[in-house]
């Protein structure tokens, strides 16, 4: 009986259920750190007065600057100080730092600090930052606010567009959003009085990477810094990049020789951690008479904020859009220009799905609009355009391994019974009042990519591989040390299932050690839907090696051939016989009676493995059903269906949890969540009264079905699915909103589709105005 | 120097939490959440916003779910306080709600979990027959960023249906 494929309960849970988890804020015993942040979006620092440390103190200690680098000609390279130097560039930028014995004392000290800043004009939104006379965010380093730009076109694109039967043009806008982990960021640093080693506990996703960069900045050997990610209360990409604050904490603790802690509050988190996804896509697409997408041209602009994030750089959103925009479709001709535009706003980090929620929104709106123009059903147009020959090589050279794009869609639409829905919709249209709508979204999710994919980006550091170290102790229990850094995904449980199958043991006899640089091999952490594929693959390979060691030892003990040994149910047996020995006994022998080992065998039982695959694509189809009130602009979710193909499911319960959580975020991204700045760069959404994550009232039950195409691109057959829910849901929801109001001539291509934007689109349709223009001017905070 | 106001001067406070008495000294401005976490060492009660929206800090005050970030410790002196640490039995047996959250995968990162457990315990103890709609309504006062809520609702429903809370 296999453990892989079973929904066993998570080993992570009992501790968390009893309130015995250890999050950064639970460590205690430290002086409290508070950052003094810029109150203005742009300005020159005249002076900092009061009991605070500033960049001058860091400079005096020789602390370096952060350099997030892409080796490409069109990339603006900067040296970012840990605290603002000379200039501030966004509201919330850390300028100074105070240390108090208690949080209350630190707050009092912070109040005594005076910032003398001469305000300057700020460039806030995309349009303002692109204007010819825009204030420059980095005037010394760049003559414009374009920080990174990429361009490509296949030969023949222009001719193909000219020859198209129908051209569809479309502008898609995504508001700025925040990943909003329920636990904000935070860190705790303590330096040993003797020996001088520092331990940093931080709420982060990639502890080894953080150790490297902090040691580079502070000029210290990596062996002198231990970085631990204890329990992490959600991250979703926001805790992947280096936090300047975490580096400052290590410096403070070494300088002061005391334990220091910084616990970010919610308004800091919303104002000054990281934002994501403020993007605009302009598409021009040529379809032939058979409704096939022949040529796709795109202009993408991403507001990348005031600074790049390390190590992912300014390029993360715009260059992903460039590379992945054709999505699951197969245009022969593709051309794109994609730019990252700096502005006087909070820097951007990857957030679950990164650019793909907006890429998918653009493509799926395109398909629906083209379908209407060409008089084809939305399902039919996708049927004709989705990938079906594998491997498919995209115009940007991405290899799509086998997937079930069409099959997933067919299954989803047959499950929702489109015919019955359309009948209900006609009745509702006749009756007036709130209108039902349905939206389809098909997409691919690029997952599990290792070094080759990152190397292609020419990053200053190239993430990629994952390593694991596995050993069996004399009691027969397995310890698995991983470089990945799970934080709520259930990876420990899933890995224990993989180990259990290979070693013929029980998952309860596996202990996974993660997120501590002192106790784990170097690795890149958990992000980009990669941990199950990479750490899972490395675990699978290491377990095979350990199984071979157990097999040859059992062969020796049982006087049989190693090839005949079967490991199952805690025993090593000779195939086809009842002759066997307990694995626990083999573990004893391997450590305590090594005279019985085969000649030349190394005492003990351990195996290391690394895994570094080229990557794979999961695919899914989402169908959303909504009800829209044209009079109030209110949208409510009625139904949500997901058909997901993520290859082999290690633990279906955990996979479904990832999908549900991802879809909930995607629905909220589509309808509710938006970070709003005024034109001077003051942020208006700094509490959960203004920035609106969903409650249970906004999220319907999510019906999930699985297809399992076992990928030849990964050793376990698993593909990864951590981001898919968030990638597909916004497009499904916006297509549904548009479908609900199609009879009114409404076209709404901006997310979040707040009541104000829906109303504006309805008014624009009634007045014959361009919905796009009306929507752009709507900047009020959304209401629930 | 900032002036010292009465709110800054620590006073003795007695809190009864999970049946135990904690004699602490706290400034009148100290929130119940901070007192529980920092003075009583009960860090299972989490802080997700400190402005009364997320519900991660939910505890029971005389059986009623309250947001401990919005109360002062001194206001809780005469009450019976219950936190997540008191849910499981003394011998470690999980409370039915803890079991149900585990079985239904009602948690991922676990940061919201103590708040949801205490909220659900308070709701089911006062309204053991609560209907599905009212239950969703009640659970909508807390935020979870990981699960999408469905499995939390299912977990609480299962305990309600078994009449276990
Ligand atoms: S911390 Fe109390 S409601 Fe969020
Ligand atoms: S489980 Fe992470 S916030 Fe609910």
Query: What digits encode the pLDDT tens for the residues A465-515?
Result: 999 999 999 999 999 999 999 988 999 999 999 999 999 999 999 999 999
* Res B88 pLDDT > 60: yes
Same-domain pairing of B25 and B79: yes
Please indicate, yes or no, if residue B157 is contained in any of the structural domains.
yes
Same-domain pairing of B82 and B105: no
ipTM of the complex: 0.97
Residue located nearest, by CA, to atom 4 of ligand 2: B144
Stretch A406-429: mean pLDDT: 97
CATH code of residue B10:
3.10.20.30
Question: Cα torsion for A232, A236, A240, A243, to the nearest 10°?
Answer: -70
CA of A715: how far to CAs of A71, A398, A494, A651, B157, in Å?
32, 20, 15, 16, 40
To the nearest 10 degrees (0 to 180), the angle between helices A724-740 and A356-374 is: 30
Atom of ligand 2 nearest to the CA of A183: 3
- What pLDDT is attached to residue A773? 38
Of B53, B101, B109, the CB nearest to A233: B109
Atom of ligand 2 nearest to the CA of B146: 2
The pLDDT tens digits of the residues spanning A439-463 come to 999 999 999 888 888 888 888 888 8
CATH code of residue B111:
1.10.150.120
Query: Which SS3 state, helix, strand or coil, does residue A498 take?
Result: helix
Same-domain pairing of B45 and B116: no
Query: Which SS3 state, helix, strand or coil, does residue B27 take?
Result: coil
Stretch A199-228: mean pLDDT: 97
Question: What distance in Å separates the CA atoms of residue A259 and residue A15, rounded to the nearest whole number?
Answer: 26
Q: Identify whether the C-beta of residue A409 lies closer than 8 Å to the C-beta of residue A383.
A: yes
Mean pLDDT, chain A, integer? 95
Residue B40, phi-psi category: left (phi > 0), alpha (psi -120 to 50), beta (remainder): alpha
Please indicate, yes or no, if residue B103 is contained in any of the structural domains.
yes
Of A15, A664, A696, the CB nearest to B139: A696
Residue that has been written with the tokens 């799926």 in this structure: A364
- What pLDDT is attached to residue A448? 84
Q: Is the CB of B144 under 6 A from ligand 2?
A: yes
Q: Where does CATH 3.90.1170.50 sit in chain A? A: 13-120+185-263
The pLDDT tens digits of the residues spanning A646-657 come to 999 999 999 999
Q: Residue B145: list chain A partners with CB under 8 A.
A: 180-182, 234, 236, 661, 665, 693
Lowest mean pLDDT: which of A158-167, A191-200, A216-225, A564-573? A191-200
Q: Is the CB of B67 under 6 A from ligand 1?
A: yes
Please indicate, yes or no, if residue B118 is contained in any of the structural domains.
yes
Same-domain pairing of B104 and B40: no
**CATH number for the domain whose boundaries are A465-611:** 3.30.365.10
Interstrand relation of A750-751 and A166-174 (parallel, antiparallel or unpaired): parallel
Sign of CA dihedral A756, A762, A767, A772: positive
Chain B's closest residue to A185, CA to CA, is B48
Q: Identify whether the C-beta of residue B112 lies closer than 8 Å to the C-beta of residue B56.
A: yes
Q: Residue B132: list chain A partners with CB under 8 A.
A: none
Question: What distance in Å separates the CA atoms of residue A308 and residue B95, rounded to the nearest whole number?
Answer: 47
CB pair distance less than 8 Å for B101 and A111: no
Please indicate, yes or no, if residue B1 is contained in any of the structural domains.
no
The pLDDT tens digits of the residues spanning B8-60 come to 789 999 999 999 999 999 999 999 999 999 999 999 999 999 999 999 999 99
Stretch A287-311: mean pLDDT: 97
Question: What distance in Å separates the CA atoms of residue A92 and residue A95, rounded to the nearest whole number?
Answer: 9
Same-domain pairing of B34 and B103: no
- What pLDDT is attached to residue B4? 62
Residues 6+ positions from B22 with CB-CB distance below 8 Å: B14, B15, B16, B39, B40
- What pLDDT is attached to residue A781? 38
Residues 6+ positions from A178 with CB-CB distance below 8 Å: A238, A269, A270, A273, A274, A275, A276, A351, A673, A675, A691
- What pLDDT is attached to residue A711? 85
Same-domain pairing of B44 and B65: yes
Same-domain pairing of B47 and B112: no
CA of A709: how far to CAs of A165, A614, A618, in Å?
36, 17, 9
Q: How many CB pairs under 8 A join A and B?
A: 169
Please report, rounded to a whole number, the percentage of residues in chain A having pLDDT higher than 90.
Answer: 90
> Looking at the complex, does the CB of residue A170 fall below 8 Å from at least one CB of chain B?
no
* Res A770 pLDDT > 60: no
As given in the structure block, the two tokens for residue A468 are 């694991």
Same-domain pairing of B17 and B76: yes
Residue span of the structural domain in which B123 resides: 96-162
Same-domain pairing of B101 and B45: no
Same-domain pairing of B73 and B103: no
Question: What distance in Å separates the CA atoms of residue A598 and residue A586, rounded to the nearest whole number?
Answer: 12
Q: Residue B141: list chain A partners with CB under 8 A.
A: 695
Q: Which CATH number fits domain A13-120+185-263: 3.90.1170.50, 3.30.70.3450, 3.30.70.260, 3.20.10.10?
A: 3.90.1170.50
Number of domains in chain B: 2
Q: Where does CATH 3.30.365.10 sit in chain A? A: 349-450+614-778, 465-611
Q: Which of A112, A696, A701, A702 to mutate to test the interface with B (most CBs of B within 10 A)?
A: A696
Q: Is the CB of B54 under 6 A from ligand 1?
A: yes
Query: Which SS3 state, helix, strand or coil, does residue A364 take?
Result: helix
- What pLDDT is attached to residue A576? 94
Please report, rounded to a whole number, the percentage of residues in chain A having pLDDT higher than 70.
Answer: 98
Please give the distance, rounded to the nearest whole angstrom, from the Cα atom of residue B77 to the centre of ligand 1. 20
* Res A7 pLDDT > 50: yes
Q: Residue A661: list chain B partners with CB under 8 A.
A: 108, 145-148
| Confidence at A194, pLDDT banded by 50, 70, 90 | confident
The pLDDT tens digits of the residues spanning A95-111 come to 999 999 999 899 999 99
The pLDDT tens digits of the residues spanning A308-363 come to 999 999 999 999 999 999 999 999 999 999 999 999 999 999 999 999 999 999 99
- What pLDDT is attached to residue A257? 95
The pLDDT tens digits of the residues spanning A716-768 come to 999 989 999 999 999 999 999 999 999 999 999 999 999 999 999 999 999 86
Same-domain pairing of B24 and B48: yes
Give B35's DSSP letter: I
φ/ψ (deg, to 5) at B136: -60, -45
* Res A20 pLDDT > 90: yes
Q: Is the CB of B105 under 6 A from ligand 2?
A: no
Same-domain pairing of B82 and B131: no
Give the residue from A630, A612, A783, A637 showing the smallest Cα distance to A699: A637
Please give the distance, rounded to the nearest whole angstrom, from the Cα atom of residue A447 to the centre of ligand 1. 35
Of the residues B32, B54, B86, the one at which a domain ends: B86
Name the class of domain A349-450+614-778: alpha beta
Please give the distance, rounded to the nearest whole angstrom, from the Cα atom of residue A638 to the centre of ligand 1. 29
Residue that has been written with the tokens 């994030």 in this structure: A309
Of the residues B86, B118, B145, the one at which a domain ends: B86
As given in the structure block, the two tokens for residue A280 are 């605009």
* Res A771 pLDDT > 80: no
- What pLDDT is attached to residue B3? 57
Q: Identify whether the C-beta of residue A63 lies closer than 8 Å to the C-beta of residue A251.
A: yes
Of the residues B51, B86, B121, the one at which a domain ends: B86
Residues 6+ positions from B139 with CB-CB distance below 8 Å: A695, A696, B116, B119, B120, B123, B149, B152, B153, B156
Q: Which of A654, A695, A698 to mutate to test the interface with B (most CBs of B within 10 A)?
A: A695
Beta strand extents in B45-104 (DSSP E only): 58-61, 64-67, 80-82
- What pLDDT is attached to residue A464? 85
* Res A777 pLDDT > 80: no
Stretch A523-541: mean pLDDT: 88
Of A9, A488, A689, the CB nearest to B103: A9
- What pLDDT is attached to residue A1? 76
């Amino acid at each position: 009986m296999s453990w892989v494929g079973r929904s066993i309960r998570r080993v992570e849970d009992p501790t968390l259920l009893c309130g015995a988890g250890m999050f950064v804020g639970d460590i205690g015993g430290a002086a409290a750190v508070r950052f003094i942040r810029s109150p203005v979006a742009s300005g020159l620092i005249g002076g900092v007065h009061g009991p605070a440390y500033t960049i001058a103190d860091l400079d005096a200690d020789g602390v370096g600057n952060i350099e997030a680098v892409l080796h490409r000609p069109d990339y603006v390279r900067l040296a970012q100080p840990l605290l603002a130097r000379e200039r501030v560039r966004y509201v919330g930028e850390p300028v100074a730092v105070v240390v108090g014995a208690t949080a209350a004392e630190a707050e009092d000290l912070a109040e005594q600090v005076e910032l003398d800043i001469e305000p300057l004009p700020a460039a806030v939104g995309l349009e303002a930052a692109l204007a010819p006379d825009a204030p420059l965010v980095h005037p010394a380093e760049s003559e414009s606010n374009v920080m990174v730009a990429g361009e490509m076109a296949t030969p023949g694109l222009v001719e193909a567009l000219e020859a198209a039967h129908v051209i569809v043009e479309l502008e898609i806008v995504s508001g700025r959003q925040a990943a909003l982990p329920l636990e904000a960021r935070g860190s705790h640093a303590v330096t040993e009085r003797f020996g001088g080693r520092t331990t940093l506990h931080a709420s982060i996703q990639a502890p080894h990477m953080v150790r490297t960069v902090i040691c580079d900045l502070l000029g210290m050997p990596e062996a002198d810094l231990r970085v631990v990610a204890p329990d992490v209360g959600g991250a979703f990409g926001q805790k992947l990049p280096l936090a300047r604050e975490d580096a400052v904490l290590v410096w403070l603790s070494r300088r002061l020789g005391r334990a220091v802690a910084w616990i970010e509050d919610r308004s800091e988190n919303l104002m000054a951690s990281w934002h994501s996804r403020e993007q605009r896509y302009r598409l021009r697409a040529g379809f032939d008479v058979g409704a096939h997408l022949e040529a796709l041209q795109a202009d993408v602009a991403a507001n990348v904020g005031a600074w790049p994030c390390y190590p992912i750089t300014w390029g993360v959103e715009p260059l992903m859009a460039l590379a992945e925009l054709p999505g699951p479709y197969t245009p022969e001709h593709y051309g794109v220009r994609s730019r990252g535009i700096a502005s006087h706003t909070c820097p951007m980090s990857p957030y679950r799905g990164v650019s793909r929620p907006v890429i998918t929104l653009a493509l799926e709106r395109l398909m629906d609009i083209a379908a209407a123009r060409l008089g084809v059903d939305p399902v039919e147009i996708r049927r004709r355009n989705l990938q079906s020959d594998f491997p498919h090589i995209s115009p940007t050279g991405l290899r799509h391994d086998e997937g079930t794009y069409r099959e997933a869609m067919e299954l989803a639409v047959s499950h929702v019974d489109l015919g019955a829905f359309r009948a209900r919709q006609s009745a509702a249209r006749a009756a007036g009042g709130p209108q039902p709508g349905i939206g389809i979204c098909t997409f691919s999710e690029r997952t599990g990519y290792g070094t080759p994919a990152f190397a292609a980006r020419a990053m200053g550091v190239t993430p990629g591989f994952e390593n694991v170290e596995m050993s069996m102790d004399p009691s027969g229990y397995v310890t698995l040390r991983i470089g990945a850094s799970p934080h709520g995904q259930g990876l420990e449980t899933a890995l224990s299932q993989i180990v259990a199958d290979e070693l013929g043991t029980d998952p309860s006899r596996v202990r996974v050690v993660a997120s501590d640089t002192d106790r784990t091999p170097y690795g890149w952490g958990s992000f980009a839907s990669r941990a199950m594929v990479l750490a899972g693959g490395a675990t699978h390979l290491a377990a095979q090696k350990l199984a071979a060691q157990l097999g040859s030892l059992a062969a020796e003990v049982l006087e049989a051939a190693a090839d005949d040994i079967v490991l199952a149910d805690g025993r090593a047996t000779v195939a086809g016989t009842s002759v066997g020995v307990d694995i626990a006994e083999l573990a004893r022998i391997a450590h305590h009676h090594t005279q019985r080992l085969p000649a030349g065998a190394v005492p003990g039982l351990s195996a290391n493995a690394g895994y570094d695959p080229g990557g794979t694509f999961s695919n899914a189809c989402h169908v959303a059903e909504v009800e829209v009130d044209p009079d109030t602009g209110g949208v409510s979710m009625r139904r949500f269906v997901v058909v997901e193909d993520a290859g082999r499911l290690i633990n279906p319960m955990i996979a479904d949890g990832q999908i549900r959580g991802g879809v909930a975020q995607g629905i909220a991204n589509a309808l509710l969540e938006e970070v709003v700045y005024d034109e001077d760069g003051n942020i208006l959404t700094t509490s959960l009264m203004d920035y609106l994550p969903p409650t249970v009232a906004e999220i319907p039950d999510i019906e999930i079905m699985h297809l399992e195409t076992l990928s030849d691109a990964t050793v376990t057959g698993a593909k990864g699915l951590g981001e898919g829910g968030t990638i597909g849901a916004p497009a499904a929801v916006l297509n549904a909103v548009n479908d609900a109001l199609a009879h009114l001539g409404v076209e709404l291509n901006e997310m979040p589709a707040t009541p104000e934007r829906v109303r504006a689109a309805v008014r624009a349709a009634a007045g014959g105005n361009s919905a796009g223009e009306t929507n752009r001017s709507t900047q009020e905070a959304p209401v629930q | 120097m900032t002036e010292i106001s009465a709110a800054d001067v620590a006073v003795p406070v007695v809190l009864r939490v999970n049946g135990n008495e904690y004699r602490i000294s706290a400034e009148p401005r100290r929130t119940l959440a901070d007192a529980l976490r920092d003075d009583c060492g009960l860090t299972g009660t989490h802080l997700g916003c400190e402005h009364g929206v997320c519900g991660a800090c939910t505890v029971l005050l005389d059986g009623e779910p309250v947001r401990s970030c919005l109360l002062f410790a001194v206001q809780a002196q005469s009450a019976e306080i219950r936190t997540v640490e008191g849910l499981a039995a003394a011998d470690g047996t999980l409370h039915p709600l803890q079991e149900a959250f585990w079985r239904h995968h009602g948690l991922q990162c676990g940061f919201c979990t103590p708040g949801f457990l205490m909220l659900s315990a308070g709701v089911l103890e006062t309204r053991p027959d609560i209907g599905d709609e009212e239950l969703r309504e009640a659970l909508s006062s807390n935020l979870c960023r990981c699960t999408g809520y469905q499995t939390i609702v299912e977990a609480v429903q299962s305990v309600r249906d078994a009449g276990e809370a």
